[in-house]
A = this chain, B = another copy of it.
């Protein structure tokens, strides 16, 4: 990319514009409130169900904003890309989201995916009309795969380190705060950092504190914050397949300035949290989403007696693994 990442950060206006732009194409996802859950949590929870977003995750917000921004630029004749294909790398959710957003706007989408991606996520990319290209499961293989597609003339839509993507993801926090203005803490999963950086813009405008949660086995954001610079060479080892990506450049800058704290949870805590989501919320959530519920159990002092907003990021599970987690905690 030609732009200087630090000069290319979205602001709260971008998030509002994104929300307006994508509204007709995305689902205004439900927010669940439950007294039994509150009793369990020791705080007042408002649970934003992005697992019920189209394609099963929040990623459809950012992908829609990126694609619709391309179409707007074409319409305004700032540029005309002749409906060039878009390309990305993804562990699955962004890939499926980009495939659908592209299809709805008559574009082709190509997705570089790790070979060990959740099969249901690979199927989803294809079902929404995307073309899958497999790669090794590491940061440099993903980036190399994407570069190859860009060399063929495709437009890269990075899964998280991109202005329109971050702004689009932030729309889910705007939607949550619009109906629940009393929230004072927002807890968000951290992978590449697209969701949390967009949400942090919305939260800052609202005076809401943001806490991020990472799996212990992919805690490169915590390591990056500790070291004061991005750590990109940790090998991820976690069941939270959606959070194995390395924190982005823009995302790291934004988290440093806007996020109060990033905490970690174990894979065992994620499985227990999946069970809590099932028993108390009747939602099937993926391990990545379970981070935010696990954080409530592990760090109750951060949330006690507060109004806590919580983003459930996605529901695209491997059903066998999900059932195992539920059975383990029956």
B315 in contact with A51 (CB, 8 Å): no
B282 in contact with A51 (CB, 8 Å): yes
A34 in contact with B27 (CB, 8 Å): yes
Residue of A52, A282, A315 contacting most chain B CB atoms (<10 Å): A282
B27 in contact with A30 (CB, 8 Å): no
B52 in contact with A32 (CB, 8 Å): yes
Beyond A27-B32, A52-B282, A323-B323, 14 additional pairs, beta carbon < 8 A? A27-B33, A27-B34, A30-B30, A30-B32, A30-B49, A30-B52, A32-B52, A34-B54, A51-B282, A282-B284, A282-B315, A284-B284, A319-B323, A319-B326
CA distance A52 to B284 in the complex (A): 12
Residue of A34, A49, A52, A281 contacting most chain B CB atoms (<10 Å): A52
Chain A 47-61: CB-based contact to B (< 8 A → 1; otherwise 0)? 001011010100000
Q: Which residues does chain B contribute within 8 Å of A77, judged by CB atoms?
A: none
Q: Which 5 A-B pairs have the closest CB atoms?
A: A30-B30, A282-B315, A52-B282, A51-B282, A323-B323
Q: Which residues does chain B contribute within 8 Å of A301, judged by CB atoms?
A: none
Q: Which residues does chain B contribute within 8 Å of A52, judged by CB atoms?
A: 30, 32, 281-282
Q: How far is the CB of A31 from chain B (nearest CB, A)?
A: 8
CA distance A49 to B51 in the complex (A): 15
Q: Which residues does chain B contribute within 8 Å of A51, judged by CB atoms?
A: 282
Chain A 7-35: CB-based contact to B (< 8 A → 1; otherwise 0)? 00000000000000000000100111111
Within 8 A of B (CB), among A277-330: 281-282, 284, 315, 319, 323, 326
Q: How many copies does the complex hold?
A: 2
Q: Which residues does chain B contribute within 8 Å of A319, judged by CB atoms?
A: 323, 326
Check if A36 is an interface residue, CB within 8 A of chain B. Answer: yes
Among the listed B36, B49, B315, which residue makes an inter-chain contact with A54, where contact means beta carbons less than 8 Å apart? B36
Chain A 249-282: CB-based contact to B (< 8 A → 1; otherwise 0)? 0000000000000000000000000000000011
Using CB atoms, name the residue of chain B closest to A320.
Answer: B323
Q: Which residues does chain B contribute within 8 Å of A323, judged by CB atoms?
A: 319, 323
CA distance A323 to B321 in the complex (A): 12
CA distance A141 to B281 in the complex (A): 34
CA distance A51 to B35 in the complex (A): 16
CA distance A188 to B36 in the complex (A): 28
Q: How far is the CB of A209 from chain B (nearest CB, A)?
A: 26
Using CB atoms, name the residue of chain B closest to A100.
Answer: B36
CA distance A206 to B189 in the complex (A): 43
Q: Which residues does chain B contribute within 8 Å of A34, judged by CB atoms?
A: 27, 54
22 contacts across the A-B interface (CB closer than 8 A) = A27-B32, A27-B33, A27-B34, A30-B30, A30-B31, A30-B32, A30-B49, A30-B52, A32-B52, A34-B54, A35-B54, A36-B54, A51-B282, A52-B281, A52-B282, A56-B282, A282-B284, A282-B315, A284-B284, A319-B323, A319-B326, A323-B323
